[in-house]
Chain A
């Protein structure tokens, strides 16, 4: 079975600062993918970034980067230069054969 753990219920950051959201995972599958989604108050899940278990380099997408440490089974999301619009719930997820397993999420609040 797959499991995603997000230990930070909430995080606060000031605008323009960087923030790291933690994610650890557990799986027995040799091949897997890790995702981060953003969920604003409107409810829609917005895909941010993906990291494959065999990818040699950490994934980056604009201001988002994924700090992937395979031996530690962690896949932390780093948001650089936070913006007010980054305030939302953030979910880490792992894909199985066909579905996604999500963590409980971290609420990020960006202050001016």
Chain B
């Protein structure tokens, strides 16, 4: 399967713990995006990479959140000192940027539950 993959699919953690999620985009895609989706809402943009450069960050991305894409391939999203409000689905997407409409392909998401 050559789609976007995310790991883990589910994560349960206690408040105050750190968590890290991984996203592997489609191999030829140079753009990678992170979104957060809470219950009953649509996905909300968090951050965006072009190759290894983080080009845009949402105001939703507090200081406790950090994302990296060290070699322009996979990406990690770390949340430090988790809070119950961080419980959500974290979606990763990638695109080639070649099409005029920049279609984004989404992974299956990581569902985070903070107890």
A positions within 8 Å CB-CB of B = 4, 33, 35, 37, 42-47, 50, 52, 91, 93, 95, 97-105
Q: Identify the stretch in B15-23, B69-77, B100-108 within 8 Å (CB) of chain A at 4 or more residues.
A: B100-108
- Residues of B within 8 Å of A95, CB to CB, are 101-102
- Residues of A within 8 Å of B111, CB to CB, are 43
List CB contacts (< 8 Å) of B61-115 with chain A. 89, 91, 93, 100-109, 111
B positions within 8 Å CB-CB of A = 31, 33, 35, 40-45, 48, 50, 55-56, 89, 91, 93, 100-109, 111
Which applies to chain A's interface (DSSP): helix, strand, loop or mixed? Answer: strand
Pair A43/B42 contact, Cβ less than 8 Å: no
- Residues of B within 8 Å of A100, CB to CB, are 33, 35, 43, 45, 104
Give CA–CA (A8, B31) in the complex, Å.
32
Write the nearest CB–CB distance from B49 to chain A, whole angstroms: 10
Pair A93/B31 contact, Cβ less than 8 Å: no
With A44-B108, A105-B42 known to touch, is A99 a contact of B33 (CB < 8 Å)?
yes
Pair A99/B42 contact, Cβ less than 8 Å: no
- Residues of A within 8 Å of B40, CB to CB, are 104
15 extra interchain contacts, Cβ-Cβ under 8 A, other than A4-B42, A98-B31, A100-B33?
Answer: A33-B102, A35-B101, A37-B106, A42-B108, A43-B89, A43-B111, A45-B43, A45-B93, A46-B106, A47-B105, A50-B101, A50-B103, A97-B56, A99-B48, A104-B40
Q: List 30 A-B contacts (CB under 8 A).
A: A33-B102, A35-B101, A35-B103, A37-B106, A43-B89, A43-B109, A43-B111, A44-B108, A45-B43, A45-B91, A45-B93, A47-B103, A47-B105, A50-B101, A52-B101, A91-B43, A98-B50, A98-B56, A99-B33, A99-B48, A99-B56, A100-B33, A100-B35, A100-B43, A100-B104, A102-B43, A102-B44, A104-B40, A104-B41, A105-B42
